[in-house]
Amino acid sequence: MSVETLAVAVLTTGGTIDKVYFDATSEFSVGASVVDDLLKAAHVDAPYRVVEVLRKDSLEIDDEDRARIATAVAACAERCVIVTHGTDTMTTTGAWLTAIEGKTIVLTGALSPARFAKSDATFNVGMAFAAVQTLAVGVYIVMNGQVFESGQVQKDSQNNVFVRC
């Protein structure tokens, strides 16, 4: 039995995964995406492409932005699509994407910036990359070592984890 390697589109929208800390202002800002660097460092050999859609904190993403994300996902030639997204409103965007048919869509992000040594970003992106190639068509959220169906997950901000609801 052979396993087909599927091409993967990775759409970046910002969020904590891409935040940069500026010492001069003691604030975080969303910088250029590091997702391609994470995949290269992991020696990912499956075909993929990275496309920046937005560069925003998820608390700043509005319905116009969600429509833009949905349009970008729907326009992808690839069936497998990963969306990196801030964790605070990831589930809201996931709900918007459920109307897209014929694609496996996985949203993921990080609870601390990928540029930090002790970030969950590398693990989450790697798990999302594997999951998007093996899951059935639909919308999923991959965080904390788990795969959740969209609409059946929420962020527990007090404990900084995603849980089934």
Indicate if the pLDDT at residue 1 is higher than 60. Answer: no
pLDDT greater than 70 at residue 27: no
Nearest in space to 15 (alpha carbons), one of 63, 50, 52, 45: 52
- Read off the pLDDT of residues 95-118 as tens digits, 9 standing for 90 and up: 999 999 999 999 998 877 666 667
Residue 107 lies in a domain: yes
pLDDT for the residue numbered 115 = 65
- The structure tokens listed for 111 are 């609870």
CATH number at residue 95: 3.40.50.1170
DSSP secondary structure string for all residues of 68-130: HHHHHHHH-S-SEEEEE--SSSHHHHHHHHTT--S-EEEEE--SS-TTSTT-SHHHHHHHHHH
Please state the rounded mean pLDDT for residues 27-35: 67
Residue 3 lies in a domain: no
Q: Per-residue pLDDT tens for 53-74?
A: 998 888 889 999 999 999 999 9
- Count of positions (residues) in the chain: 165
The predicted pLDDT at position 2 comes to: 41
Helix (H, G, I), strand (E, B) or coil at 34: coil
In a domain, 2, yes or no: no
The pLDDT-based confidence of 154 (bands split at 50, 70, 90) is very high
Residue 73 is part of which domain span?
8-164
The total domain count for the chain is: 1
Residue 106, both tokens: 């996985």
Is there a domain that residue 151 lies in? yes
